[in-house]
């Protein structure tokens, strides 16, 4: 997937695409507007990818090591870590191969590079789709644990969790294969954008409902202790801040990438949209950053997992 819409990055390197540079640049066409282009150094991109790989490998290792973490909730978190791991590995691999081809260190025929590019693109697309799916699955799991607390363990059983996990992986592989095979069709891009919007709406609705229930519960406790103002207000502000950070990071990291896809459909030839297309590497970098942040939001907040992580590291 390339910075100029649906074209491919590896094939672009064969056609003389220049590597990323480490500075802000004003790119100007002779007939178009001046564009602010944020170029990401390849070293920074690769470093962020490696940090994400290490973090998510540690999360998966900690969950695998501690039997107390062998529950549906942690399995979903572990699968999210695997998805983020694949996002980072696939993007790092594509960038590394692209640099090798551009430098002449990797001599290969265009057909071979095309096949390699297809494989990497399927991996990138599939890992992104699965990552979004598991973010939604974690939100649904938490929602059920709050609103159906007494029935949660009978609703979210291990067999059902494994079936959901298997369905997500199979759907991600199949959909990514179709997306890459028909990448130049408008319907494909619209499906990807619609999927992102659906996940964003799902997470927003579920987490806002959970926050409202938590504030209602806090008000009930306050009334019992005759402190009607202090506890609900403080709890509500803290919960609202947490919700804003969670959804804000999700939208900030994933939104620009899907904005890029939307503009490819809406205005592929417009000069202003062309300015957005020039920052595609920045959008991929934000997704890598999301893979770095996810463990802190969903995994490292667990005391049990942090304790196991210390054992794994030491």
Residues in CB range of 267: below 8 A, 6 or more apart: 273
The pLDDT of 79-84, averaged and rounded, is 93
The answer as to whether 26 is a domain residue is no
**pLDDT tens digit sequence for 88-135:** 888 888 888 777 777 776 666 667 777 777 788 888 888 889 999 999
The answer as to whether 18 is a domain residue is no
Cα–chain center distance at 312: 25
C-alpha distances in Å from residue 252, one per residue of 75, 120, 284: 26, 25, 12
Q: What token pair was written down for 247? A: 């959804």
Range of the domain at 184: 40-226+234-313
pTM for the whole thing? 0.82
Q: Are the beta carbons of 74 and 61 closer than 8 angstroms? A: no
The answer as to whether 6 is a domain residue is no
User: Would you tell me how many other CB atoms lie within 10 Å of the CB of residue 6?
Assistant: 19
List the one residue out of 22, 184, 9 whose CA is nearest residue 98: 9
The pLDDT of 248-264, averaged and rounded, is 88
Q: What token pair was written down for 91? A: 């993007």
Q: Are the beta carbons of 39 and 25 closer than 8 angstroms? A: yes
The answer as to whether 88 is a domain residue is yes
Q: In total, how many domains does the chain have?
A: 1
Cα–chain center distance at 69: 23
The answer as to whether 239 is a domain residue is yes
Task: Say if strands 24-28 and 34-38 run parallel, antiparallel, or are unpaired.
Answer: antiparallel
The answer as to whether 193 is a domain residue is yes
C-alpha distances in Å from residue 56, one per residue of 49, 182, 223, 246, 296: 11, 31, 43, 18, 10
C-alpha distances in Å from residue 288, one per residue of 40, 56, 267, 294: 12, 12, 26, 10
Half-sphere exposure of 259 (CA within 13 A, CB side): 18
**pLDDT tens digit sequence for 181-237:** 887 788 888 888 999 999 999 999 998 888 888 777 767 776 776 654 544 455 556
Q: Are the beta carbons of 231 and 222 closer than 8 angstroms? A: yes
The pLDDT value recorded for residue 264 is 85
CATH number, domain containing residue 72: 1.20.1070.10
- Placement of tokens 């090591």 in the chain: 65
The answer as to whether 8 is a domain residue is no
User: Regarding predicted confidence, which is higher, 137 or 229?
Assistant: 137
**pLDDT tens digit sequence for 28-38:** 444 456 777 77
The answer as to whether 241 is a domain residue is yes
């Amino acid at each position: 997937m390339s910075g100029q819409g649906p074209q491919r990055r590896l094939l672009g390197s064969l056609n003389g695409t220049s590597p990323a540079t480490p500075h802000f640049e004003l790119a100007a066409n002779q007939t178009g507007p001046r564009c602010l282009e944020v170029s990401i150094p390849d070293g920074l991109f690769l470093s962020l990818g490696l940090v994400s790989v290490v973090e998510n490998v540690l999360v998966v290792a900690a969950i695998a090591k501690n039997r107390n973490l062998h529950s549906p909730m942690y399995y979903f978190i572990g699968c999210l870590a695997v998805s983020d791991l694949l996002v980072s590995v696939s993007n790092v691999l594509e960038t590394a191969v692209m640099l090798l081809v551009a430098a002449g260190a990797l001599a290969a025929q265009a057909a071979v590079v095309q096949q390699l590019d297809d494989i990497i693109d399927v991996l990138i697309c599939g890992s992104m789709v699965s990552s979004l799916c598991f973010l939604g699955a974690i939100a649904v799991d938490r929602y059920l644990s709050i609103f159906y607390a007494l029935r949660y363990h009978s609703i979210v059983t291990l067999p059902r969790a494994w079936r959901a996990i298997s369905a997500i992986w199979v759907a991600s592989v199949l959909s990514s294969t179709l997306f890459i095979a028909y990448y130049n069709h408008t319907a494909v891009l619209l499906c990807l954008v619609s999927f992102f919007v659906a996940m964003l709406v799902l997470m927003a609705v579920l987490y806002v409902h959970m926050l409202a229930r938590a504030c209602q519960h806090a008000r009930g406790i306050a009334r019992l202790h005759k402190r009607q103002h202090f506890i609900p207000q403080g709890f509500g502000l803290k919960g609202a801040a947490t919700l804003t950070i969670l959804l804000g990071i999700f939208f900030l990291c994933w939104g620009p990438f899907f904005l890029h896809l939307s503009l490819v459909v809406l205005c592929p030839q417009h000069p202003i949209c062309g300015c957005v297309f020039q920052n595609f590497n920045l959008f991929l970098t934000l997704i890598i950053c999301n893979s770095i942040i996810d463990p802190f939001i969903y995994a490292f907040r667990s005391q049990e997992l942090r304790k196991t992580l210390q054992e794994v590291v030491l």
